Amino acid sequence: MAKIAEIIAKSKKPTFSIELWPPRSPASEAKLEQALPILEKLHPTFTSITYGAGGSTRERTHDLVLRIKRETSIEPMAHLTTAAHKKSELMLILERYRDAGIENILALRGDPPLNGGYLPNGELPHAIDLVNLARAVGEFCIAVAAHPEGHPDSPDLETDRRMLARKLELADMAVTQFFFVAEYYFRLLDDLDRLGISKPVLPGIMAPVSVKTLERMAQLSGARIPDKIRERLYRAGESAEAIRAAGVEIAIELSEELLKHGAPGIHVYTMNEASTTVEICRGLGLG
């Protein structure tokens, strides 16, 4: 048994986990091949594997999840989205994971493509519907997404918190969207506590290595970029390595503050960058 929520609950020290993308091209496949053995040496608690908009990486996600389960020491958590899917398609995907021994699922509604393209709705309109379906299919550990600053589609923060609490009444844990102010995370926990929810919520951390990419991803996620973060990245100059180093420092400082005040672990959005992730892990003394 390797259910992530149970591992987090029993861990005597903060956990360290990572997110990976399935490759979309020969170049990205080569990059992942180089990164995987390096990341495995960090002994992450688990790795979540993303699912492309509208299921665009459906088979690549499935294949990578199974490969990591069978060929590495890392426990995989498979992302799955409702957008652009029929209920029967989602059921089949869940059954395949169940039969392959995959125990951990991250249930999501799904986001629009990074290029701003249209993403059609699926038969299950919300992530909570996917949580219910996964519960019916197998004995999965089910995670859901949390947005410390509120989901961009929610009318207000209070509504967002109530919806998240409803999801967590059924799911086992949550992983947050990236953010840059620790107060947002702890305010999220306080709000959930008032709603009677005390399940694990892992903070998602991203080292900003490009101002342009950061701004594009922040626009989609609803995350705000504090002026001081922008200024630090701009002060780093035009060198990609200097910007990367500044981004790693930002990620480590935020993670240290989160862990100091009780976060159960850190989940790093690696963007399949091994060196950046290694520096964050070792900077926190978790590797």
For 231, half-sphere exposure in the C-beta direction (CA atoms, 13 angstrom radius) is: 3
Q: Which positions are annotated as active-site residues? A: 19
Phi-psi domain of 84 (left: phi exceeds 0; alpha: psi -120 through 50; beta: other): left
Handedness of CA 250, 256, 258, 259 (dihedral sign): positive
* CB-CB contact of 207 with 251 (8 Å): yes
Give residues with Cβ within 8 angstroms of 166, minimum separation 6: 128
Structure-derived torsion over alpha carbons of residues 127, 132, 134, 135, reported in degrees to the nearest 10:
150
Tokens (6 digits) for 3:
């259910």
State the Cα–Cα distance between residues 75 and 68, nearest whole angstrom.
Answer: 7
Neighbouring CB atoms inside 10 A of 28's CB total: 13
State the Cα–Cα distance between residues 27 and 33, nearest whole angstrom.
Answer: 10
**Could you give the 3-state DSSP secondary structure of residue 160?**
helix
State the Cα–Cα distance between residues 14 and 272, nearest whole angstrom.
Answer: 22
Residue 18, beta-bridge partner list: 47, 268
Of 62, 61, 68, 75, give the one whose Cα is nearest residue 33.
Answer: 68
Tokens (6 digits) for 254:
């935020």
